[in-house]
Chains A and B, each alone.
Chain A
Amino acid sequence: MKIPITLKINGEVHDVVVEPNQTLLDVLREELALTGSKKGCDSGVCGACTVIVDGKPVLGCMTLAVRCQDREILTIEGLSQNGRLHPLQQAAIDHNAVQCGFCTPGWILSAKALLENTPRPTREDIRQGIAGNICRCTGYKKIEEAIMAAADKK
Chain B
Amino acid sequence: MKLPNFDYATPGSVSECCELLKEHGSTAIPVAGGTDLMMALKNWLKTPTLLVDLCSIPALNGITERKDGGLNIGALVTLYHLTEHDLVQKKYPVLAKAARDVGSRQLQSMGTIGGNLCQDTCCLYYNRPPMLRQALGPCLKLGGDTCHAVRGSNNCWATYCGDLAPVLMVLNAAVRISDAAGDTVIPVQQLFSGDGSRPCALETGQVVTEIQLPAPTAYSAAVYLKMRIRKSIDYPLLGVALHLALLSDKKTVGNIALALTAVEKAPIMITAAEGLNGKIITDDLIDELAEAAYKKAHPINNTYGYTPGYRKNMARTYVKAAMHQSIDLATGDGGAA
Which A residues contact B (CB, under 8 angstroms)? 1, 3, 19-23, 42-45, 47, 50, 56-59, 61-64, 66-67, 110, 113-114, 117, 128-133
How far, in whole Å, are A152 and B233 apart by their CA atoms in the complex? 28
Judged by a CB distance under 8 angstroms, whether B294 is at the interface is no
Return chain B residues, CB-CB under 8 Å to A114: 105
Q: A44-B35, A67-B53, A131-B232 are in contact. Are A21 and B3 (CB under 8 A)?
A: yes
Q: A20-B51, A45-B233, A64-B34 are in contact. Are A1 and B7 (CB under 8 A)?
A: yes
Q: A59-B106, A62-B34 are in contact. Are A20 and B8 (CB under 8 A)?
A: yes
Q: A44-B39, A56-B80, A62-B35 are in contact. Are A21 and B106 (CB under 8 A)?
A: no
Contact of B104 among A43, A47, A117 (CB under 8 A): A47
Min Cβ gap A52→B in Å is 9
Judged by a CB distance under 8 angstroms, whether B110 is at the interface is yes
Return chain A residues, CB-CB under 8 Å to B34: 62-64, 67
- Residues in B223-243 with C-beta less than 8 Å from chain A: 231-233
The 10 nearest A-B residue pairs measured at CB: A132-B104, A131-B232, A20-B8, A21-B3, A56-B109, A62-B38, A132-B106, A59-B106, A57-B106, A1-B7
Return chain B residues, CB-CB under 8 Å to A132: 103-107, 232-233
A110 in contact with B105 (CB, 8 Å): yes
A21 in contact with B105 (CB, 8 Å): no
Return chain A residues, CB-CB under 8 Å to B304: none
Judged by a CB distance under 8 angstroms, whether B4 is at the interface is yes
Return chain B residues, CB-CB under 8 Å to A44: 35, 38-39, 107
- Residues in B11-59 with C-beta less than 8 Å from chain A: 34-35, 38-39, 41-42, 51, 53, 55
Interface string of B210-221 (1 = CB under 8 A from A): 000000000000
How far, in whole Å, are A19 and B2 apart by their CA atoms in the complex? 11
Return chain A residues, CB-CB under 8 Å to B231: 131
B5, closest chain A residue (CB): A21
Q: A62-B34, A66-B8 are in contact. Are A50 and B106 (CB under 8 A)?
A: yes
B104 in contact with A131 (CB, 8 Å): yes
B110 in contact with A67 (CB, 8 Å): no
Judged by a CB distance under 8 angstroms, whether B306 is at the interface is no
Return chain B residues, CB-CB under 8 Å to A62: 34-35, 38-39, 107, 110
Can you report 26 residue pairs joining A to B where beta carbons are below 8 Å apart?
A1-B7, A20-B5, A20-B7, A21-B5, A21-B41, A43-B39, A44-B35, A47-B106, A56-B109, A57-B105, A58-B110, A59-B35, A59-B110, A62-B34, A62-B35, A63-B110, A64-B8, A64-B34, A110-B105, A114-B105, A128-B105, A129-B105, A130-B105, A131-B231, A132-B104, A132-B107
Return chain A residues, CB-CB under 8 Å to B105: 57, 110, 113-114, 128-132
Contact of B6 among A20, A45, A56, A117 (CB under 8 A): A20
A57 in contact with B4 (CB, 8 Å): no
Contact of B1 among A1, A42, A67, A130 (CB under 8 A): A42
How far, in whole Å, are A117 and B83 apart by their CA atoms in the complex? 13
Return chain B residues, CB-CB under 8 Å to A43: 1, 39, 42
Return chain B residues, CB-CB under 8 Å to A23: 3, 38
How far, in whole Å, are A66 and B51 apart by their CA atoms in the complex? 11
Besides the contacts A23-B38, A58-B110, A114-B105, what 5 more A-B pairs have beta carbons closer than 8 Å? Answer: A19-B5, A57-B105, A59-B110, A110-B105, A128-B100
